[in-house]
Amino acid sequence: MQIPFGMLSDRFGRKRMICIGLLIFAFGSVVAALSGSIYGVIAGRILQGAGAVGSVILALGADLTREEQRTKTMAVIGMTIGLSFALALVLGPLLNAVIGVSGIFWTTAVMALAGIAVLYRVTPQPNALQSHRDTGAVPAMFKRVLTDSQLLRLDFGIFALHAMLTASFIAVPVLLRDVVGVGENELWMVYLPVLAVSVMIMVPMIILAEAKRQMKAVFVGAVVTLGLSQLALLAWHTSLVELVVVLTLFFAAFNTMEASLPSLISKAAPAEAKGTAMGVYSSSQFFGIFVGGTIGGWAYGLGGPAGVFIFSAIVALLWFGVAVTMKPPRFTRTRMISVAVADSGEARALEAELLAQPGVVEAAVALDEGVAYIKVDSAQADEVDLDAFSRRPAQA
């Protein structure tokens, strides 16, 4: 529902669609909280998932920020999503100990309603709604995005990453409880230090990938680490120390990929199709969660934890084959500047001027937005020269 919600928000308004999505999510939470069977929980989770307004939130963020600040805004939203995942992993067992599973669902319902209050009482109203090619899906761009082999490799990457995560966490809590003796309400004591150390390992890896321009080497190395961690879980899971060490390596690689993949999508996507590429990427992520949970559960039924880890190792092996054939990425970033052009002829002329600037590798002018999307090599591009094109008056 991410892409449909985003498109509907262009017509009916960002806040209205975010509110509808949060109400659907809250209703699903109530259904799950009141349910006395697994089928009711499944129905509630389906409704929660249907309230998918992440893309609309990105579009609202774009409406409320200048083009020059939009990349920072999207980065902050992305960091918040990542932080929420880490907090949920740690707080989930704590909340379960105090209020139980139904209480967790009631809490998510309250949080959804609190989100609506923040939306209408705190969040500014945008002056105008506009389709943003850097944050939203454009139907005309789907064919271009879905036939790009480099983007498809990255889409498979996020699919595989979350399939492995979801499958693994069918088995890992069981091992911690039944083999090592960690109670369900004490799982946070394992997850918190594992996540903290994995982040400390991740940071230098990201610096090596971005600042030292070793993205492909770090990328392939992380895929190998993910696969080896699954094999390690298969062989070494009889003590808490073994599980903590392997899980730390798994999450160090996971966090590195979670941070690197959006950056790679941004580098690989055409400047004017970044939002569409991110929409397909996000859908691939959620599909990976679905497949990981479904096939991981089936594999657990067949072979217990070993079945899950074998499945995840196979996924990692397939991903390695896809990753190792990936072209080294160009180290570019997308810039947006406001421009004033009267027609397509002026737009094409401006694109040619922009492409002639040092470090500019791609330029596309969106007439309907009044924005030029530019891909630049930050080591070469002259920021002053590019800023000189902003708000240029139309040619007479």
For residue range 63-103, list pLDDT tens digits in order: 887 766 666 777 788 778 778 888 888 898 889 989 999 99
- Dihedral of CA atoms 375, 379, 380, 386 in degrees, nearest 10, equals 50
Q: Is the pLDDT confidence value at 395 over 60?
A: no
pTM of the model: 0.81
Residues 6+ positions from 216 with CB-CB distance below 8 Å: 326, 328, 329
Domain ranges within the chain, ordered by starting residue = 1-135, 146-330, 333-387
pLDDT for the residue numbered 371: 80
CATH number assigned to the domain covering 146-330: 1.20.1250.20
Tokens of 266: 């941004």
* Among 324, 318, 290, 326, residue whose Cα is nearest residue 151: 326
pLDDT band at 204 (very low <50, low <70, confident <90, very high): very high
More confident residue, 63 or 122: 122
% of the chain with per-residue pLDDT over 90: 47
Handedness of CA 134, 137, 141, 145 (dihedral sign): positive
Equal fold, 1-135 vs 146-330: yes
∠ CA(281), CA(63), CA(265), 5° rounding?
20
DSSP string, 350-389: HHHHHHTSTTEEEEEEETTTTEEEEEE-TTT--HHHHHTT
Average confidence (pLDDT) over 126-141: 69
Q: Which of 52-66, 126-140, 184-198, 363-377 has the highest mean pLDDT?
A: 184-198
Between CA 28 and CA 41 the distance in angstroms is 9
CB 285 within 8 A of CB 164: no
pLDDT for the residue numbered 136: 65
- Dihedral of CA atoms 379, 385, 388, 391 in degrees, nearest 10, equals -40
DSSP run (H or E) holding 393:
none
Tokens of 99: 């209020």
pLDDT in tens, 241-274: 999 999 999 999 999 998 888 878 877 888 777 7
Q: Which of 4-8, 12-16, 362-366, 376-380 has the highest mean pLDDT?
A: 12-16
More confident residue, 277 or 71: 277
Average confidence (pLDDT) over 274-293: 88
More confident residue, 334 or 21: 21
Q: Which of 79-83, 133-137, 391-395 has the highest mean pLDDT?
A: 79-83
Q: Please state which of the ranges 147-151, 213-217, 364-368 shows the lowest mean pLDDT.
A: 364-368
- Which of the listed CATH numbers 3.40.50.620, 3.90.950.10, 1.20.1250.20, 1.20.1600.10 matches domain 1-135? 1.20.1250.20
Tokens of 308: 């899950």
User: What CATH class does 333-387 carry?
Assistant: alpha beta
pLDDT in tens, 320-332: 999 999 888 777 7
pLDDT band at 374 (very low <50, low <70, confident <90, very high): confident
pLDDT band at 396 (very low <50, low <70, confident <90, very high): very low
Q: Please state which of the ranges 60-64, 177-181, 239-243, 391-395 shows the lowest mean pLDDT.
A: 391-395
Q: Is the pLDDT confidence value at 139 over 80?
A: no
